[in-house]
Every structure is written in structure tokens, then in C-alpha cells.
Amino acid sequence: MKPAARVALNELRAHAEDVAGMHLREHFAADPARFDSFHLDLGDLTLDYSKNRISRETISRLVALCTAADLDERREAMFSGQTINSTEGREVLHTALRNRSNRPVIVDGEDVMPAVNGVLEGMGRFAEDVRRGRLTGVKGDRFSHVVNIGIGGSDLGPAMAVAALTPYRGDGPKVLFVSNVDGAHLSDTLAELDPAKTLFLIASKTFTTSETMTNAGSARAWVADTLGEDAVGAHFAALSTNLEAVSAFGIDTARAFGFWDWVGGRYSVWSAIGLPLAISIGFDNFLAFLDGAHRMDEHFRTAPWAENMPVLMAAIGVWNRNVLGLTSHGVMPYDQRLSRFAAHLQQLDMESNGKRVTLAGEPVDYQTGPVVWGEPGTNGQHAFFQLLHQGTDIVPCDFLIAAEPREQLADHHAKLAANCFAQTEALAFGKTEDEVRAELAAAGLEPADIDALAPHKTFPGNRPTNTLIYRCLDPATLGMLIALYEHRVFVQGVIWDINSFDQWGVELGKALASRLLPVVRDGADAEALDSSTIGLVARFRSLSEPG
């Protein structure tokens, strides 16, 4: 952490002795109009951060922390195409993919926007040809299903977005996703599909990702075995830059859509990796998705820190993590179609900021990325909210809800919203033992029964939440939400002085799996392995033998 930022963080810790000791009940009692001072609007998107254990002075000090961390300089470096992914020697330009202003973005002396727009135009033509039946299978059948085969960022982002925007599918094909190398995933997906009406998108920048290419090979065999080898070209497209490997697989390189080294996997839904989304919702809606993200980019680029939605969410997250010592962060969308949103954010946040050394390679002596998790409400209320309300760990949470539902089903949405707001109220204010005792007495319980029950029915409250409200979950709003969290992660990485854009921890497991494959599959010599791994492999092989 930069020396000035460390000073600012230490001052925040000293400040916390005053403000964090106040209960949220006291904060709201002292300022009944607290919402007015602690919320932000950006179009139809509202962030309420009033239910955090902060004061106006806290916000001022968090702004000072951002300034001390040179956030403005790092932000400009990212948007302008400087090499901020230092360990991989790459620029970080997912924002260029949705740069709807078309302002030049210069990399190695060349504006990347013409190339970005060229890929985007090709995606648009392909997506609409599939949707309208102009592009068909080898027998002339319109595609009823599109199966995206990828993993990590080539799966989580587009899979989440396709589910979120299901109402925009219209008469387009149903888009499915296969990621796990476990054969059950592919087998279960293909079980009810007609190969003559199925199109596969193979999403791998290098066309060498082990899990993806294993699934792709099996999908290819499924098509070739049922429709013939010559059918492969008509039923596959590639999201890749390795044209030689794409061609060797049997895919016409005209059906390969590339992207760049400066697009990280978990930031790639805006690139050719977003083709399954464009097919699912139509290209005009995909452009609206990009528009929404660009609007958040412009807000992040121009708004003062104290009025900047991603910056405030990030800074409050640092406050919770590094000052209050809270170790995890919950994401609770009260929006069923955001059922995969937390999973996408897990990769975005934990792969980006799960780092233990600074940009200079020095061990950090402070906490970095929290554990990110969550589920849609109201299901989560009947699963883990007990821990949120009365557990020994305090978990800051984000709640998300639309004002307008897509489905007009009696009072479903009113009940959903009431539950959402009730949870943030209960987490913030709790229920005191005196209140519990009064309720039990009013219900006619005997004093001894009240004494026995009161501790169990007391809620401490004082548990921080943010709430994001938006008019409806349309493509532009989803784009804004994803970009909001991308920038939140970036800001926290800047404050922690870490590289949010590499993922060496992922690479280690891949390398070890490659080394172990011949041992597991073929019984190759295992003497160099540790005794636990040798024992596990031996037991696995014995259990997998017939009879």
C-alpha cells in the first residue's frame, strides 16, 4: 500500500473508534433524514448506503484514502490504455469494448476502436443470421438451441447475462452453457437436443483450454456421429484468436470471432465472448447492454469521489474489510433472473483481488479481497439469513431489486420488495431484548418463559447493507450493474496496491492437473508425488476398475 494511503488508512482506524462504536439505531436517531445524505442516483439506478456504520466524516476520510492511493492516476491509466497489468505486460481495456463514444483508445500507437467495432459488426451479423434462420444446420434446419462451451470468464459472465435477460429472447434460439469437464454437464445438456438443430460456440481465446476443448471434442463427435463429419463446419463457431487451431477443428475461420490480450476473461462478456448473449437477446439489445456499461464508465470517469457510485461502494468495502475487520461480502439480488449474478461476482472479485503481494511483489500486511457469496431472495432467507441476523460473524451485504417486474402476477412483486426492505431494516436495527420482552409479555407468556426465550429472540442489528434499486432489469441496466461492480473491484485493488488483472493462482492448479492426468488415467509412475495424492489416486483407480 502506498505510504500516503497507509497513513490515511491508519487515520480511518483511529476515526473508527468514534463512529463504529455507534449503533445504526443511533446514527438514524441523530439524523432522521440520513437517506438524503447517503444515497446516489444515476438515471434509474439508486444506491442507498445509509445503512453502513459510517458518518459524513467517514466518507470524507475514505475520499482522502482514494486520493492518497492515486486513484485518479490509476483510473486514467486504465482508460487510456497504459500497461497496468504489470505481471503479464498487458493493457486493461474492457472499457474500450463498450466505448460507445468511439473516442480513440491508443495501444502501441494505434487506435483499437476500429478493430473493436469490426468484431462487433461481425458479431451482429452472425447473431441476427442465427436468430432469423438465415444461418442453418447442415440439413437446412433453423437452430433451436445454441450451446456455449467455455469455462470461467468464457462461461460465467454470458451465462449470467443470458439468464438475467431471458424476457428479451423473443423467438430466438434457447442458449445453453456447458463449462464443467465432468461429463455429466455435457451429457445432460445434449440429452434432449437435436443435433440437426444445435449450434455450438467454442469459447477459448487460445483454443487450448483443457476443460473447454475436452467438452468441444465430445460435442464434435456427437455431431459427426449423427450428422456426418462434413456437418461439423455448419454446427460450430469459435470465439478465439487461434485461427490455425480453429481451422484444424473443422470450423471455417470466417466463423471465428477474436478478442485481444487486453481483455481479461472475467471482463470479457463485452467482447466476442458475449456472442451467446447477442444471439439470445438480439443485437440491438446487446448494444443497449454496452450502452448501459458505457454510461457507468462515464460516471466513474467524471464524478467526484464523494458522488461516484463505484468509488463509494469500493471505499465502504475497504472500510468494512480493513477497518471493521469483516471477512466476507454477501450479494443478495431480490431478482430471480439474477440467480447467477453472485457467481459472476465471485470470479470478478475473488480472482481479481485475492492477492497476497503488492504490485512491487512485497507481501501485504493487511487484508485484501473478501469472500464473496450470495443467493437470490427470498430463497436465501430460508437458507442462511439466520447466520446474517444472529451469527457471530457480521457479513456486509448488497441487496438488489427492480421497481417494475416483468411478470404481473397478483402481489408477488410487492411481497418480494417488502421482504427485501424488511431484511435490510432488520439487519440494521435488530430487536433489543427489552423489545422482545415487551412482545412476549403482550402475548401473555409467563415471566419464566420470557426469561428463557428472550436471549434467543434478540437481534443485535448494526449489520451493514447497501441497497441498489433500478426501474427494471433491462439490457442497459444489467450493463450498468456489471460495470459498477467491475469498477468497484478496480478501486479496491488500487487502494490495496495489488494487480487486479492477473490470476496466477488459477494457473498452478492447471499445471498440476496436467502433470497428474497420465497418473490418474494411465497409471503412470506416481513415486514423485506425496503420499496423500498417491493414496488417493490408487484408491480412485481401484474403485473405477470394473467388477
Question: Model confidence at 246, in pLDDT bands (50, 70, 90)?
Answer: very high
Angle between helix 71-79 and helix 475-496 axes, rounded to 10 deg: 130
Model pTM?
Answer: 0.96
Given the residues 17, 192, 244, 382, select the one marked as catalytic: 382
Position 241 in a domain: yes
Q: Specify whether 282 is located in the same domain as 311.
A: no
Q: Are residues 489 and 515 in the same domain?
A: no
Choose, from 91, 351, 375, 486, the residue flagged as catalytic: 351
Residues 352 and 422 in one domain: yes
User: pLDDT exceeding 70 applies to what percent of the chain?
Assistant: 100
The answer as to whether 127 is a domain residue is: yes
Shared domain check, 395 and 351: yes
**Closest to 130 measured CA to CA, from 278, 271, 241:** 278
Which of the residue ranges 288-292, 435-439, 440-444, 511-515 would you say has the lowest mean pLDDT?
511-515
Are 320 and 378 within one domain?
Answer: yes
8 Å CB contact between 372 and 331 = yes
Taking a C-beta distance cutoff of 8 angstroms, is the pair 179, 151 a contact? yes
Beta bridge partners of 201: 148, 237
For 129-139, what is each residue's pLDDT tens digit?
A: 999 999 999 99
For 170, the grid coordinates are 423473443
To the query of whether residue 351 is one of the catalytic residues in this protein, the response is yes
Residue pLDDT, tens place only, 160-190:
999 999 999 999 999 999 999 999 999 999 9
> How confident is the prediction for the chain on average, in pLDDT?
96
Answer whether 274's CB lies under 8 Å from 259's CB.
Answer: no
> Which residues, 6 or more positions from 40, have their beta carbon under 8 angstroms from its beta carbon?
46, 47, 49, 307, 309, 312
Q: How many CB atoms lie within 10 A of CB 337?
A: 20
Give the mean pLDDT of 127-156.
97
Q: Which pLDDT does position 511 carry in this prediction?
A: 87
CA–CA separation, 369 vs 165, rounded Å? 29
Residue 362 is placed in which grid cell? 512485497
Q: What angle do CA 69, 75, 100 make, to 5 degrees?
A: 165
pLDDT at residue 547 greater than cutoff 70: no
Rounded distance between C-alpha atoms, residue 21 and residue 16, angstroms: 7
Task: Specify the DSSP element, H or E, that contains 402.
Answer: strand 397-402
| Phi and psi based region of residue 35 (left: phi greater than 0; alpha: psi -120 to 50; beta: remaining) | alpha
Mean pLDDT in residue range 298-302: 98
Residues 189 and 45 in one domain: no
Q: Are residues 383 and 258 in the same domain?
A: no
Please check the confidence at residue 356 and state whether its pLDDT lies above 80: yes
What is the residue-wise DSSP string for 488-521?
Answer: HHHHHHHHHT--TT--HHHHHHHHHHHHHHHHHH
Residue whose grid cell is 493462482:
505
CB neighbours of 192 closer than 8 A, spacing ≥ 6?
Answer: none
Q: Name the residue range of residue 33's domain.
A: 3-68+303-406+413-496
Enter the C-alpha cell of residue 404: 417494475
Per-residue pLDDT band for 526 (boundaries 50, 70, 90) equals confident
Instruction: Report the run of H or E that residue 197 belongs to, with start and end.
Output: none
Residues 247 and 337 in one domain: no
Helix (H) or strand (E) holding 442: helix 433-442
pLDDT tens-place string over residues 247-281: 999 999 999 999 999 999 999 999 999 999 999 99
Place of cell 470468464: 153
Q: What is the mean pLDDT of residues 54-61?
A: 97
pLDDT of residue 507: 82
Indicate whether 119 and 154 sit together in one domain.
yes
Residue 43 lies in a domain: yes
**What percent of the chain stands above pLDDT 90?**
95
Does residue 75 lie within any of the structural domains?
A: no
Residue 85: DSSP 8-state: B
Question: Alpha-carbon distance 402 to 116, whole Å?
Answer: 32
Is position 350 within any domain?
yes
- Active-site option among 139, 412, 415, 510: 510
Average pLDDT value for residue range 81-93: 96
Cis before 136? omega within 30: no
In a domain, 418, yes or no: yes
Judgement on whether residues 244 and 382 belong to the same structural domain of the protein: no
**Amino acid residing at 108:** D
Answer yes or no: is 148 within a domain.
Answer: yes
Q: What is the mean pLDDT of residues 397-423?
A: 96
Residues 100 and 55 in one domain: no
Could you say which of 219, 254, 286 is where a domain stops? Answer: 286
| Of the candidate ranges 17-26, 294-303, 488-497, the one whose mean pLDDT is the lowest | 17-26
Residue 454: C-alpha distances to residues 394, 459, 484, 497 (Å): 21, 10, 42, 46
Q: What band does 545 get if pLDDT is binned at 50, 70 and 90? A: confident
Residue 128, in any domain of the structure:
yes
pLDDT reading at 94 higher than 70:
yes
382 catalytic, yes or no?
yes
What whole-number distance in Å separates Cα of residue 90 and Cα of residue 544?
A: 44
pLDDT digits (tens, 9 = 90+) for 382-393: 999 999 999 999
Whichever domain contains 117, its CATH number is: 3.40.50.10490
- Same domain for 245 and 325: no
The whole-angstrom separation of Cα 28 and Cα 52 is 11
Give the chain's domain count.
3
Active-site residue, 57 included? no
Q: What is the mean pLDDT of residues 529-538?
A: 94
